[in-house]
Structure 1
Amino acid sequence: MACEKKGVSSFTVKVGLLLLAGCILVPISLVTMFRHYTVPLQSLSLLFSVGSASSVIWGEENVGSHHSGRNEGPVLCDFSSSRSDMCELKGDIRVLPNATIVLHHPLARRQSWRMKPHPRKNDRHALARVTEVTVVSSSSYATADHSAPRCTANHTAPAVVFSVGGYAGNMFHDMTDVLVPLFITTHRFAGDVHLLVGDAQPWWLDKFRPLLAALSRHDVVDMDRAGSSGVLCYPHVVLGLEFHKEMRVDAKRTAGEYSMADFTLLARRSYGLPRDTAIRLHDRFSGRPRLLLISRKTTRAFTNVGAIAEAAAAMGYEVVVGEPEHHAADMASFARVVNSCDVMVGVHGAGLANLVFLPAGAVVVQVVPLGGLDAMAAEDFGAPARDAGLRYVHYRIAVAESSLARRYPPEHRVLRDPAAVRRDGWMALRAAYLVGQNVTLDVRRFEGALRRVMELLR
C-alpha cells in the first residue's frame, strides 16, 4: 500500500509540472503565432470572441492604433468596445450601392465579414433598424471577383460609413448614438471626409444638415438613395463610429486635443447661435437670467408649469416655456431659444439633450422622477453637461411630487421599493417610471434648487 501511495503521489507531481509548463508555454506560443500580425494590444483578445467577424485577417505591417495615424495596413478592426465595432480600411476601396465594400490591397487576405455600423452593438431592438454592411477583401480582384466593380466616382478624401438607424428621431439618441460619435470619428480629418450615411430618413438629414455640414465640407451621401451614384471609390474608409461615453467625448482618449466643449461649440456655430457665454450675476447691471422650462406633452411632463414659472419669476428669472420640436425648421428655431437662455430646467428625458446649444457657463437643472434613476440621469445628462462647460443641478423629486403617488397606495413597491422593480428588468422599470409618470413640483421645495442656480450664475 505504501508503494502504491508513493507511486500515485509521484504521478500527481508530474501531472502538476506538465500543467504548469503548459500554462507558461501556451501564452508564449500564442504571442509568437500572432506576433507577425502586430495587432494593437487592446485588440488581441478579440481574435477569440468576435463571432462572425473572427475571420478578419489583420495587415502585416506595423499598423499601430487607428488613433495614432500610423495605420498603414489594409485592415485594422477594433471590436473591444461594448458599444461600437469599428474597422479601418486602406487600399483600393469600392463602396457599392448594395451595402457592400470591396477592398483590394496587395497584403490583404481573401476574406469577408459583416458589420452593423451603429454604436449600439448589443441592443437588438436598435440593430433591427440598422442595415448590415458586407466587407470583402483580397490581394487581387481577379481572385475575389472576375468582374471587379468599376469606379463611378474616384475620391482622394477618406470616407466614414455609418448608420443612423436605431432610435433615430429621439434627440438624446441622435446625439449620443450618432452625432457625438461622428464628431469623435471625423475630428482628425478636419472636414475633409465624406459621410456615407445609411438608414437615414430625409427629414433626419434635413434636421441635422447644419451640423453634418460642419463635420464635412463634402455633400452627405445618402446610401439608401444613392443608387444613381454607382460605385464610389476611396483610398481610406472607416466603417462604424467611435463611442466614448453617453453623449460625451473622453478628452483623455483624444490626448486632450478636443472635448465635449468643442462639440457644443461646433453645434452652436453650425446653427448660427450667437451666445457663447451665459450671464454672470456679478453686479446689479447684469440683468435677469433667462430660464427655459422644458414642457413635455406626454409622459414625465410637468403638471403645474404655471406655478413653477410664477415662482421662478418671483425669484428674479425671466421664464420661457418651450417644447423641443422634431422638424428641421423648428429644430433650428428651438436651438436659438435654448441658446438665448442661461438656465434649462427639465424632467429627465430627451429634451435635455438640447443642452448642446446652451452657452458655456449656463446651468442645467435635471428633475429626476421616482424609480431610483439618479445614476442613469447623472450619466445621461449630468456628466455631459459638466464636460460641455455647463453647471449642473440634480433635483430628485419627493414621492408626493410624483403622479405615481396618486396611482398606488403608500406601501406599494413602485413607491417604496424601486430596486425591486428594477430587478424585474428594463421593461418593468420603463413601464413603471419612464412611461407612466408625471411630475407636480413642490414649488417651495424647488425654490432651493433655483437659489442654487443663482449662486452658480454668480
Structure 2
Amino acid sequence: MMVDIVCVAVAAVIIVSDLVEGRVWEDLNLHPQHYPFFFNTNPGVADECHQDPNCPYKIHLDRDACWGYESACPPGEAYSQPSCPGDARGWVNTKKEQRETFYKQADFGYVKKRRSELEVYCQPEQEVDSSLECSDHLRFCRGRNLWLDLRHLTERSDPVLYHTDVLMKGQIGGHCRVDEELLKKNTDMISFLQSWGPEMRHFQRIDKPVARQSKQCDIWVEKPAYVMKLDAIGNMYHHFCDFFNLYASLHVNSTDERAFFNDTQVLVWMTYQYRTNFAPAFTAFTENPIWNLKDVSGKRVCFREVMFPLLPRMIFGLYYNTPLIWGCEGSGLFHAFSRHMLHRLGVFGREGIVDDRVHITFLSRQTKYRQILNEAELAQNLQKNETYVVHRAVYSHQMDLHHQLRQDQWTDIFVGMHGSGLTHLLFLPDWAVVFEIYNCGDPNCYQDLARLRGIKYMTWEDSSKVTPQDEGYHPQLKGAHEKFTNYTFDVAEFQRLIEKAVKYVKGHRGWQNLQAKPHSTPGHQEL
C-alpha cells in the first residue's frame, strides 16, 4: 500500500510540473478578492511572485485566507462563513451539525469531499506515460496523455446529444496500468448527466505512449482541455448548472496551479453546433472557440491534459439535485462562482456611483404562460415613489448576456414569476432580494438557489390576493396546473411586500457600505 501511495504522489507531480512554463502569475486573471486564496493554495506560485520584482500581486501575498478544502484551513480564514439561523426541521440535533451538513452538501466542503475521493485508475510507470484519476462513481476525472478514438462517429447516422453509447471498448485509453477492479466498481451510474461511467467503462491500456509525435494522434491538444456533457443549453437554470459545476471542478483540480487559466480547449460532448444566448458565459473558462464532437469526428484525438468535470444532474450533486438542509444559507462556493463569472465577463458593480435609490427590476415574461397580467399597473404604482428606480427587463434569447448581467448588478429587488430567468439571482448584489412573486406550486427551487447564493428570498404571502386567469392545463399530465396560466396580483399587497424588501435592502451591511464609500461623478446612473 505504501508503494501505491508514493506512486500516486509522483504521478500528481508529473501532471503539474510538466505543464508549468514561464511565470505562472503572468497568466492569472482572477477576481481581486480571490488572489489571496489562490496564492495560499499554490505556495510555489506565491514564492515565484515574492522573488520577482515585477510581480504585481505582492499585496495579495502572506494574507490569512484559504478556500476551505485545503488540508490545514482554520475556519476563521476560510472563504465560506455559512449561516444557519433557521430550524433544521429534524435533519440534525445541533447548530454545529447543521452548519457542517450544509458545508458538505453545498459549499467548499463538497469540493473537499470530491478531492478526498480521487484515486488513480490508470497508473503511469514512467514520466512519459498516461495517467487517469477519478472521484467516486466517476463523477469527476482528470488525465494526462489520454487518447480518444472518434473515427467511428463519421459512420453514425443519428446525432449525438444525450447518448451513453458514444464510445465502445478500447476507444478511450492511455499508456498506463489500468486498475480494472476499481474501474468496474465505480461504473455503477450509467446515465448521461450523472457520471463519466458511460465513457470511462471502456477505458483500456494502449500499447504505445501517447505523445505529440505519435502516429496514434490525428489531433494533439496541447492546451488543458475540458470535455463537457451539457444539460439543456437554452434554459438558464439548467445551463448555468453546467457552468457552476465546471467552476467547482476547477477547485477539485486546483493541485494544478494553472487550473484557473483561460487558455484552454472546451469540447462539448454532442455533434450539434453549440449555439445559445448563454455562450458568452464560456469566456469565463476559455478564450478559445468551443469544439463539439463533429469538429473532431473521424479523428483520433490526444490530450496532453484533460479534465472531465462534475456533471449537472449527479445524484446529490450541485445544484440541481442538492438535498439542501433547512435553515442554512450563504455558500461561499456559490458566492465565489458569482464573483468569478462577473469578473471574467467584465461586468462590474456600482462602486463609485452616486445613487442611493432602490433599483427594482421586473423580469417580464414574453411566454404564453406565467405572465403578470397587471405588471404595468404594479410598476406604475411603484414609480410614484421617487426613491425607487423601476426597470422592466425582457431577457430574451436575442439580448446580449453581458447586458443582462449588468442589469443584475443594478438591481436591488428582482421581481419575477417562477421560471428559469430567476437564475439571474446568482448574479445579484449581496444585499439584493429576489421576489418570486408566485412560485406556481414549486416552493423550493428558487428559494433553495437563493439560500445557496446567500441572498434574501421572498414570495407571495396571501393566496386570497392573487387571481389566476384560469386553472391552467398541463399538456403532458393532462390536468390543471399552476405553471400553465397567468396571474393578476393585488396592488396594495404587492406594495406592502416591496416595502418589506426595501427595508431588508437598506438594512443590509453591503448596501450601507456602498452608500458610505466615497463616490465619484457617475458615468451612468442606471441601465
Q: 1:73 to 1:210 in 2, by over 3 A?
A: same
Shift of the 71–264 alpha-carbon distance from structure 1 to 2, 3 Å rule, reads same
Superposed, 1:410-429 pairs within 5 Å as: 428=477
C-alpha contact 1:303 1:439 (8 A) present in aligned 2 = yes
* Counterpart contact for 1:163–1:199, Cα < 8 Å: yes
Are residue 451 (structure 1) and residue 521 (structure 2) matched?
no
Q: Which has the higher helix share?
A: 1
Q: Deviations over 1:165-219 (max 9, x none)?
A: x43201111112x1111211233322365422123754635x3343212223554
Give TM-score, length-normalised by structure 2: 0.55
**Aligned position for 1:27:** none
Gaps of 5+ in 1: 1-37, 39-63, 122-129, 143-147, 280-284, 409-413, 415-420
SS at match of 1:268: helix
Counterpart secondary structure, 1:346: strand
Instruction: Check if 1:162 corresponds to 2:228.
Output: yes
Following superposition, the deviation at residue 383 of structure 1 comes to 2.9
**Matched residues in 2 for 1:68 and 1:157: separation?**
26
CA distance in 1, matches of 2:452, 2:493: 28
Segments of structure 2 that go 5 or more residues without pairing to the other structure are 1-7, 9-111, 123-131, 154-165, 209-213, 507-527
Q: 1:114 to 1:212 in 2, by over 3 A?
A: farther
1:336 equivalent to 2:402? Answer no
* Amino acid corresponding to residue 291 of structure 1 in structure 2: I
The secondary structure found in structure 2 opposite 1:273 is coil
Match 2:250 to one of 165, 179, 186: 186
Measure how far apart 1:301 and its partner are. Answer: 0.8
Question: 1:290 aligned to 2:359?
Answer: yes
CA distance in 1, matches of 2:173, 2:481: 48
Is 1:137 matched with 2:203? yes
Contact 1:78 1:87 in 2 (8 A): yes
Which residues in structure 2 correspond to 1:277-316 (within 5 Å)? Answer: 286-297=355-366, 298-315=368-385, 316=387
TM-superposition CA deviations, 1:88-114 (whole Å, max 9, x none): 254541123344351124321568979
Q: Does 2:240 match 1:152?
A: no
Q: Corresponding residue for 1:264?
A: 338
Shift of 1:450: 0.5
CA contact (8 A) 1:271 1:335 kept: no
Kindly state the Cα deviation for residue 400 of structure 1 after the two structures are TM-superposed: 5.0
Equivalent position SS for 1:67: helix
2:303 is matched with which residue?
233
Question: Does 1:381 pair with 2:446?
Answer: yes
Work out whether residues 245 and 310 of structure 2, in 8 Å CA contact, stay in contact via their aligned partners in 1.
no
Query: Corresponding residue for 1:216?
Result: 286
Task: Note the C-alpha offset of 1:137.
Answer: 2.6
Question: Using a 3 Å threshold, how does the CA distance of structure 1 residues 303 and 180 change in structure 2: closer, same or farther?
Answer: same
Contact preservation (8 Å) 2:369, 2:486: yes
**Offset of residue 240 of structure 1:** 5.1
Instruction: Give the direction of change, closer, same or farther, for the CA distance of 1:272–1:116 in structure 2 (3 Å limit).
Output: farther
- The one of the two structures with greater contact order (alpha-carbon pairs below 8 A, sep at least 6) is 2
CA distance in structure 2 between the aligned counterparts of 1:249 and 1:393, rounded to whole angstroms: 21
Task: Indicate how the Cα distance of structure 1 residues 309 and 338 shifts in structure 2: closer, same or farther if over 3 A, else same.
Answer: same
| Identity of matched residues, % | 18
Q: Hey, what does 1:9 align to over in structure 2?
A: none
Change (3 A) 1:301 1:260: same
Q: 2:416 aligns with which of 346, 357, 360?
A: 346
Secondary structure of residue in 1 paired with 2:360: strand
Query: Counterpart in 1 of 2:29?
Result: none
Q: Offset at 1:234? A: 3.2
SS across alignment from 1:356: helix
Q: Is the 8 A contact 2:147 2:300 kept in 1?
A: no
For 2:479 and 2:341, the matched residues in 1 are separated by 33
Q: Is 1:390 aligned to 2:455, yes or no? A: yes
Aligned-residue CA RMSD (Å): 4.2
Larger Rg: 1
Q: Distance in 2 between matches of 1:139 and 1:295?
A: 54
1:275 alignment partner, SS class: coil
Secondary structure, aligned partner of 1:341: coil
Alpha-carbon deviations, 1:8-42, whole Å to 9, x = none? Answer: xxxxxxxxxxxxxxxxxxxxxxxxxxxxxx9xxxx
Alignment partner of 1:332: what SS?
helix
* Structure 1 residue 350, shift from structure 2 partner: 0.8
Q: C-alpha separation between the residues in 2 aligned to 1:168 and 1:86?
A: 20
| CA shift in 2, pair 1:236/1:382, >3 Å | same
- Label 1:92 to 1:119 Cα distance change in 2 as closer, same or farther (>3 A): same
Q: How many residues align?
A: 345
Amino acid at match of 1:263: F
State TM-score, norm by structure 1: 0.63
Q: Which amino acid aligns with 2:240?
A: M
**CA–CA distance in structure 2, aligned partners of residues 76 and 333 of structure 1:** 39
SS of the residue corresponding to residue 497 of structure 2 reads helix
User: For residues 353 and 246 of structure 1, what CA distance do their matches in structure 2 show?
Assistant: 11
Structure 1 residue 88 and structure 2 residue 131: aligned? no
Q: Deviations over 1:390-414 (max 9, x none)?
A: 322232451551315x559xxxxx9
Change in 2 beyond 3 A, CA 1:341/1:441: same
The answer to whether the 8 A contact 1:344-1:365 is kept is yes
Q: How far apart, in 1, do the equivalents of 2:275 and 2:458 lie?
A: 31
Q: Deviations over 1:268-323 (max 9, x none)?
A: 223322216799xxxxx853211111111221110001111022223442111122
Q: CA 1:182–1:276 in 2, change beyond 3 Å: closer, same or farther? A: farther
CA distance in 2, matches of 1:203, 1:366: 31
In structure 1, the partner of 2:60 is none
Q: Output the CA distance in 1 between the equivalents of 2:323 and 2:266.
A: 22
Contact 1:117 1:162 in 2 (8 A): no
Following superposition, the deviation at residue 140 of structure 1 comes to 3.9
Does residue 367 of structure 1 match 2:432?
A: no
**Alpha-carbon distance between aligned partners in 1 of 2:335 and 2:300, rounded to the nearest angstrom:** 38
User: Structure 1 residues 94, 140: CA separation in 2 closer, same or farther (over 3 Å shift)?
Assistant: closer
Give per-residue Cα distances to partners, 1:44-92, cap 9 Å, x unaligned.
Answer: xxxxxxxxxxxxxxxxxxxx97514964442555566xxxx52525454
Stretch of structure 1 that moved more, 445-454 or 306-315? 306-315
Matched with 1:11 is none
